[in-house]
């Protein structure tokens, strides 16, 4: 097995450098980086692999479903999601996940934080089979899986869980501890689903459980301020908006990763940045569901940290998530290069999103540096990038490219995608059978 890769250019934490040879151990961890001494190259420009910081992998089978004929909202789309969630078995989940995970690799994601809440079997019985199906799919495809088991308790502020939510729900912390155990070594952290699904009074005990079982530095992910109705209900029930309530009850900090935060107010956004928590943005899903746009430019300017995720997997493409993110900020502010910096919009945004994303799922990647794993996206000089200066290559991807471009992808130094195509064999036939069974009626 090879333990070196050589590139003309590498995006290191300080910026572009090259040519460089990466030396890594059997586990794919980079041991040293040296000036290249050979003329042979494994690619033109190596970027740190992007972590997908928020995915519901089963929702890949929901793509294009729930787009009715009239004006609709998130809450109507959610009915279609519940229909899908209620009928899948472990084999079907495995088929869906192999396709979605392969698309993630082809889209530049080398690790995935799976916000896993489809825990139980169809009859509601406790089982490790659903988590095992996801883990098997990730292994089959070769993506780095970081499971984030979801704690789910109720159907809204002060309301019992609804019948269609029974596959998600835990009876209490002891029950959830078994779910953490089911996730095994793939478990990266925990995910209280949202304040509407977890009574805030239970959060201190949940965090204590995470500290005991996974370590005090383990990530904590939570949906927050995704919908205006959620914010209104939280204020009505607790006399606090969600972010202020979280900080008051459990104390936000760098281990906290807030999903969406679309409708967090200015005071809340400043608090998130000051506490060192990150916001995980999912622009393609937020656009598709009509959620709105988080003011990421203002947040980043205040030293806020952001990552990206594919969420509902309506389309899986790291470059397109970045493009939607940047374009939304441009449209809102009437400025260009809102999220960029001295390296330009592409290199700066890729570097920062990759770093924060990796931290959010404890993936050990996110930077091309000693001690990090060799999770890489490697660009060539053909096609879209033909004749493009190296400093502008990622700008071209940001503005014009994405999944389908002929780049290579490595996970732990092992080639997983060659010229834009996965080397694995995702179960497309299985996904087709799922779609036909679930949606044919």
Q: Which active-site residues does the annotation give?
A: 260, 311
Q: At what angle do helices 173-183 and 129-141 cross, to 10 degrees?
A: 30
Q: Is the peptide bond before 162 cis (omega within 30 degrees of 0)?
A: no
Burial environment of residue 342 by CB neighbours within 10 A (0 to 12, 13 to 18, 19 or more): exposed
Please give the Cα distance from 11 to 77 (Å, whole number): 40
Task: Report residue 217: phi and psi, to 5°.
Answer: -100, 5
What the block records as the tokens of 230 is: 């959620």
Burial environment of residue 58 by CB neighbours within 10 A (0 to 12, 13 to 18, 19 or more): buried
Please give the Cα distance from 54 to 354 (Å, whole number): 13
- Please count the CA atoms within 13 angstroms of the CA of 179 that sit on its side-chain side: 34
Task: Report residue 385: phi and psi, to 5°.
Answer: -100, 5
Please give the Cα distance from 144 to 138 (Å, whole number): 7
What the block records as the tokens of 300 is: 């980043």
Please give the Cα distance from 189 to 180 (Å, whole number): 9
């Amino acid at each position: 097995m090879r333990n070196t890769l050589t590139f003309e250019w590498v995006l290191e934490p300080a910026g572009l450098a090259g040519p460089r040879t990466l030396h890594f151990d059997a586990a794919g961890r980079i041991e040293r980086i040296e000036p290249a001494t050979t003329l042979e190259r494994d690619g033109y420009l190596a970027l740190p692999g992007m972590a997908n910081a928020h995915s519901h992998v089963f929702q890949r089978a929901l793509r294009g479903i729930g787009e009715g004929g009239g004006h609709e909202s998130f809450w109507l789309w959610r009915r279609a999601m519940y229909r899908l969630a209620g009928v899948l078995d472990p084999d079907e989940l495995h088929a869906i996940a192999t396709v979605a995970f392969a698309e993630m690799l082809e889209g530049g994601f080398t690790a995935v934080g799976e916000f896993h809440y489809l825990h139980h079997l169809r009859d509601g019985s406790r089982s490790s089979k659903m988590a095992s199906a996801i883990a098997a799919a990730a292994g089959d495809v070769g993506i780095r899986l970081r499971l984030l088991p979801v704690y789910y308790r109720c159907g809204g502020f002060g309301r019992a869980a609804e019948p269609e939510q029974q596959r998600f729900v835990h009876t209490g912390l002891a029950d959830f501890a078994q779910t953490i155990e089911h996730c095994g070594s793939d478990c990266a952290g925990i995910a209280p689903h949202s304040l509407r699904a977890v009574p805030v009074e239970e959060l201190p005990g949940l965090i204590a459980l995470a500290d005991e079982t996974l370590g005090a530095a383990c990530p904590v992910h939570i949906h927050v301020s995704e919908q205006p109705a959620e914010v209104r209900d939280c204020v009505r029930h607790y006399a606090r908006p969600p972010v202020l309530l979280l900080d008051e009850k459990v104390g936000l900090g760098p281990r906290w990763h807030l999903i969406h935060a679309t409708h967090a107010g200015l005071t809340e956004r400043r608090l998130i940045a000051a506490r060192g928590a990150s916001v995980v943005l999912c622009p393609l899903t937020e656009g598709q569901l009509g959620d709105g746009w988080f003011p990421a430019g203002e947040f980043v300017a205040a030293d806020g940290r952001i990552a990206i995720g594919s969420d509902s997997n309506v389309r899986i493409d790291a470059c397109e998530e970045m493009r939607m993110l940047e374009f939304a900020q441009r449209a809102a502010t009437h400025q260009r290069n809102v999220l960029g910096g001295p390296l330009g919009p592409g290199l700066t945004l890729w570097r920062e999103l990759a770093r924060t994303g990796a931290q959010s799922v404890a993936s050990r990647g996110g930077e091309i540096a000693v001690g990090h794993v060799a999770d890489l996206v490697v660009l060539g000089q053909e096609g879209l990038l033909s004749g493009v200066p190296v400093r502008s290559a990622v700008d071209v991807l940001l503005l014009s490219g994405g999944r389908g471009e002929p780049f290579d992808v490595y996970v732990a130094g092992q080639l997983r995608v060659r010229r834009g195509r996965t080397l694995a064999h995702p179960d497309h036939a299985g996904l087709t059978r799922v779609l036909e069974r679930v949606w044919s009626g």
